[in-house]
Amino acid sequence: MSLEPCEETAEHSALLKLLSALFYAGSSFLITVVNKTVLTTFRFPSYLCLGIGQMITTVIVLYAAKKSKTVQFQDFDKNVLLKIFPLPLLYVGNHVTGLASTKKLSLPMFTVLRKFTILMTMILEAYILRKTFPKRLVYSVVTIVFGAMIAASSDLAFDVEGYTFILLNDAFTAASGVYTKKKLGDKVCADVFHRPLQPL
Three-state DSSP string of 10-47: HHHHHHHHHHHHHHHHHHHHHHHHHHHHHHHHCCCCCH
pLDDT score at 71: 87
- Which of 175, 165, 190 lies closest to 87 in space, CA to CA? 175
Of 10-24, 45-59, 130-144, the least confident: 10-24
pLDDT score at 200: 35
Contact yes or no for 33/107 (Cβ under 8 A): yes
DSSP state for residue 198 in the 8-state scheme? P
Question: pTM for the full model?
Answer: 0.81
pLDDT, mean of residues 120-130: 94
Find the DSSP H helices in 105-159.
107-113, 116-128, 135-153
pLDDT score at 15: 86
pLDDT score at 158: 80
pLDDT, mean of residues 3-19: 69
pLDDT score at 4: 53
**Rounded CA separation 91/166 (Å):** 15
Report the chain's C-alpha Rg in angstroms. Answer: 21
Percent of residues in the chain assigned helix, strand, coil, to nearest 5? 80, 0, 20
Higher pLDDT, 157 or 140: 140
